[in-house]
Amino acid sequence: MTDSNLERPAAQKPFRRLLLTGAAGNLGQQLRGALAAWADIVRVTDIAPLGDVAEHEEASIVDLADEQAVHALLEGVDAAVHFGGISVEAPFEDLLEANIRGLYNLYAAAQKQGVKRIVYASSNHAVGFHPVTSVVDIDAPLRPDSLYGVTKCFGESLSRYYFDRFGLETVCLRIGSSFEQPKNPRMLVTYLSFRDLIELVRCSLFTNRVGHAIVYGVSDNRTKWVDNTKAAFLGFRPQDSSVEFEHLFPVNAPSADLDDPTQRFQGGPFVLAGPMEPKR
Ligand code: NAI
Ligand code: 15L
């Protein structure tokens, strides 16, 4: 919680207004309801249709690449939960607009509007070219596995700059694989349950003085490729595990083929996905 929120009367919710980008997406839909418990007003936005708008919500369809519209979005916002943008490998031109220009617009607007904190959906693909035989902590070198991963590294650097230069706080969430359930054996390692995702966002919004922080978003899975020890101050304790889904994948499957890059590196299939040709 930011200092200005602490000045609000006890009967009110901790935040006056939270912004949620990507609200129509897979994870945005999960977060939309959760944010209602923490803010009087949740401003939801996406480039895609947002469905029914609740009484406590303000909704607007905005392309993150539209500078003016993004500046208007950030007006009167205490903190932003930024889950909008392209979430997979894509042609560079598309990533450039949504994930690079869009992110710059968001930070420039947040700084101008005096927003105190951003919770940024980074990705495991910022470090996806680390081998599965290693465990990475939050100080591990960036090793993006795709142009998509490179855009996440840009987001982590841009947010670092905005903290060092302007004091705008960010928690970068290096999310693993957050879906209803793991879709393949790799996701047994990278799985983040929706419940744990919501808890991670809650910790990121409510911990005092986060500065510029990085944390891995994975549940308490049996196999671990990431180590959150240095992010312990956020207080994130995953409740779930992919163990309950292990039966979905054959127990007698051959062990990882380390000659196959999609099995040798943590990023899995992303390591071979790009660069993609622009759509003509
Ligand atoms: P998603 O693709 O379902 O949602 C992203 C949303 O962003 C979509 O609703 C889309 O319409 C919106 N969007 C795309 N371009 C936009 C633009 N130019 N302007 C405004 N909105 C735009 O993806 P998901 O799974 O919900 O992921 C959310 C965030 O979390 C993304 O940033 C993704 O990179 C990140 N992430 C997700 C992971 C996962 O396992 N679901 C893993 C790692 C990171
Ligand atoms: C991501 O960053 C993607 O947004 C998501 O769609 C998944 O592919 C996830 O990583 C993953 O690594 O499984």
- Output the DSSP codes for 202-260: HHHHHSS---EEEEEE----SS-SEE-GGGGGG-------GGGGGGGS-TTPPPP-TTS
pLDDT tier at 2, thresholds 50, 70, 90: very low
Superfamily of 12-272 according to CATH: NAD(P)-binding Rossmann-like Domain (3.40.50.720)
pLDDT of residue 7: 60
Q: How many angstroms does the Cα of residue 11 sit away from the middle of ligand 2?
A: 39
Does position 255 have pLDDT exceeding 60, yes or no? yes
Entry pTM: 0.96
Mean pLDDT of 114-131: 98
* H runs (alpha helix) in the chain: 3-6, 26-36, 67-74, 92-95, 102-113, 147-166, 187-190, 194-206, 261-264
**Ligand 2 pocket check: which of 26, 177, 265 to mutate, most ligand atoms within 8 Å of Cβ?**
177
pLDDT of residue 254: 61
What is the residue with the minimal CA distance to atom 11 of ligand 2? 177
Instruction: Give the ligand 2 atom nearest the CA of 87.
Output: 4
- What confidence tens digit (pLDDT) does each residue in 166-218 have? 999 999 999 999 999 999 999 999 999 999 999 999 999 999 999 999 999 99
- What confidence tens digit (pLDDT) does each residue in 95-114 have? 999 999 999 999 999 999 99
Q: How many angstroms does the Cα of residue 69 sit away from the middle of ligand 2?
A: 28
pLDDT of residue 279: 79
Does position 3 have pLDDT exceeding 50, yes or no? no
Does position 51 have pLDDT exceeding 70, yes or no? yes
Rounded to an integer, what is the distance from CA 140 to the centroid of its chain?
18
Share of the chain above pLDDT 70, in %: 94
- Which tokens is 116 given? 């105190």
